[in-house]
A = this chain, B = another copy of it.
Amino acid sequence: MRVDNRAAGQLRPVKITRNFTSYAEGSVLIECGNTKVICTASVDDKVPRFLKGTRQGWVTAEYSLLPRSTQTRVSREAAKGKQTGRTVEIQRLIGRALRAVVDMEALGERVITLDCDVIQADGGTRTASITGAYVAMVDAVDKIFGGYGKFPVTDFLAAISVGIGEEGPITDLCYVEDSAAVVDMNVIRTGAGNLVEVQGTGEHGTFTRKELNELLDLAEAATDELMAIQRETLGDLANKVGKVYETSTGDGE
């Protein structure tokens, strides 16, 4: 029996609220059980030097835990003057994941920054950040999309943590389960069913090929479910993902 009575492959309740704050081009609150993350997507037309003249864009991410998002207060990184190794690792992962479903030429010379600020942490904050940031990013891209040519977001994308607990493989580990898990794996997958990233770690043990495959089976089911929720949340906007709009051919243009 899991700590919150879920079945092995069962997600915690997921809720994605769009337009959570007012100023960002995309702003989402994603809640996966008690894990809650504010994900905003900001568009900046001033690109860094390495992009100038390339006609290509970039997607980058930053991640942070609010000091009291956790059971025990963690030090504020701005006050310490340094991001922890964990933070750096997570924000590199988020950026890399989302770039996998963005066509940088279609995006044009702009930078999209995804800010994932965890206001409450109960396990799976990095995967919730990716799943939520995806929705914020689609909203932001839609605001700058001219209406013809390729929509810069090319596919759906969701992430989930799976792991091997005391009674075998389980999906969407909460903090208590995560602390006890022998193996912990984060899987990121696209709407087309392909893998973008697989990070499996034997935190308190090792794992076999067979176990790896069982975990991937759980992850596939979970990410399919999460992408269905993303699709529903986005409504009509979901249809633009991956689409190419014919260039207008009307007279005089």
Contact = CB atoms under 8 A, between A and B. Distances in A.
Given A22-B120, A78-B64, A197 B200 contact: yes
B62 A40 contact: no
A208 interface: yes
Interface residues of A, number: 62
Interface stretch (A9-17, A84-92, A165-173, A223-231): A84-92
A83 interface: yes
Contacts of A34: 22
Contact of A66 (B22, B44, B117, B199): B117
Interface string A67-84: 111110100111101110
A38 B66 contact: yes
Identify whether the interface residues of A are mostly helix, strand, loop, or mixed.
Answer: mixed
A85 B94 CA distance: 13
Contacts of A22: 34, 120
A181 interface: no
A125 interface: no
Interface of A: 21-24, 27, 34, 36, 38, 40, 42, 44, 62, 64, 66-71, 73, 76-79, 81-83, 85-89, 91-92, 96, 100, 113, 115, 117, 119-120, 185, 190, 192-203, 205-209, 212, 216
